[in-house]
Structure 1
Amino acid sequence: MDILKLSERLMSMDESSWQRHSNPLSVYSRFSILPLFTIALATRELLGWWTLAALMLVSLWTWLNPRLFAAPKTTNNWASMGTFGERVYLHYKNEGLIPEHHLRACKKIVLLQIVGLPFWFYSLYAMDFALMILSTAWLMFTKTWFVDRMVWLYQDVKDLKPAFQSWLKS
């Protein structure tokens, strides 16, 4: 099972939520999710059972985020094009539409994200705050790199389908 497809299904992303998610406020505010999860888990001894409430709030924020912001008037920006590339990647990566160099790069970036996860989990388990900061920064860096790759992907394929071109509003 493709983890990205699964997350799209769990997020119930439809055309309207994708349009709203292309708002740069949605994209940039989503970068808060991993630090918020990290803080909620790192403060579990302080919060006790309230940690579950904090985790539920962060999960709710994760789900609500692509729906909270209005569709942007202009999408000719890095954040919006990152969401467009993600849509293309999710829906067309197995159809031969995406150039091979993008597929290879995405696999490598995802592998780098996966490499960082055990360190993040261990840091939370061991309450190793230095490793927590480092592993969270690593995961944020690789996520940003992935979004940047999605921008590049979108720019390379936007003329292949009229629907892709229609997402771009100047």
Structure 2
Amino acid sequence: MDDGVWRRHASGWSVWTRAASLPLLVLAVWSHRWIGIGGALCLVGLVVVWIYLNPRIFPAPKRTDTWHARATFGERVWLNRHRIPIPRHHAVVAHLLAGIAATGAVIALWGTFLAAFWPTLVGIVIVLFGKFWFLDRMVWLYQDMKDMDPIYRSWERIPVNDNEAARKWPRRKRREG
């Protein structure tokens, strides 16, 4: 993703609707029982397209001091860790949480193919637990790393047009006399 896509992905709309993608993907795979493999593959394809489009279709947020914006900033720092090293404790926990989420994904996929409700649900819960804990760690990573590079700090800065606030206030009438 380029810088513009990352800015849009910091939107709450992008982060929270993207989180809904996992249940949609599981439902698309599960649907092979009802509509066959071909229909299920089409639905999976639609979800994959949604996952691709999601960070691109929402506008950039007006504020970047939110949890979800900082989580995306942390993901950018994480992806850049080979250029600017991150503290070891962040890397260890991030890998551990990715492993938890991957384990949940295997359980959910297995349950989905068997059309077994409880393993599927448990797998989804494990994936989401791992992913949201990972995102929370990304907020922490960003807070620890934002002063390591001026680019990292710049992600929090959004230009504000002071004239915009002035337009919202009604004009005062001049007193005569």
Q: What TM-score bracket applies, with the shorter chain setting the length?
A: 0.7 to 0.9
State how far apart, in whole Å, the 2-side matches of 1:86 and 1:17 are.
13
Q: After superposition, what is the alpha-carbon deviation per residue over 1:20-76, rounded to whole angstroms, capped at 9, x for unaligned? A: 101111011100111001011112121223212211110110000000111111110
Q: Encode CA deviations 1:79-130: one digit per residue, 9 max, x unaligned.
A: 0000000001001x22453111101111111121222232122101211111
Q: Is 1:60 aligned with 2:38?
A: no
* AA at the equivalent of 1:154: Y
Specify the alignment match of 2:66 in structure 1: 77
User: Which segments of 5 or more consecutive residues in structure 1 lack a partner in the other structure?
Assistant: 1-12
Alpha-carbon RMSD across the aligned residues, in angstroms, is 1.3
Counterpart of 1:15 in structure 2 is: 3
Please tell me whether residue 42 in structure 1 is matched to residue 30 in structure 2.
Answer: yes
Letter in 2 for 1:146: F
Number of equivalences: 157
Q: Which amino acid aligns with 1:128?
A: A
Deviates more, 1:119-128 or 1:94-103: 94-103
Task: Note the 1:18-167 alignment, pairs <5 A.
Answer: 18-48=6-36, 49-91=38-80, 93-95=81-83, 97-167=85-155
TM-score by length of 2: 0.84
User: Structure 2 CA distance, aligned partners of 1:101 and 1:126?
Assistant: 38
- Could you say what secondary structure the match of 2:100 adopts? helix
CA shift for structure 1 position 166: 0.7
- SS at 2:60 equivalent: coil
Task: Tell which has more relative contact order, 1 or 2 (C-alpha 8 A, sep 6+).
Answer: 1
TM-score normalised over the length of structure 1: 0.87
> In the alignment, is the contact (CA less than 8 A) between 1:73 and 1:169 conserved in 2?
no
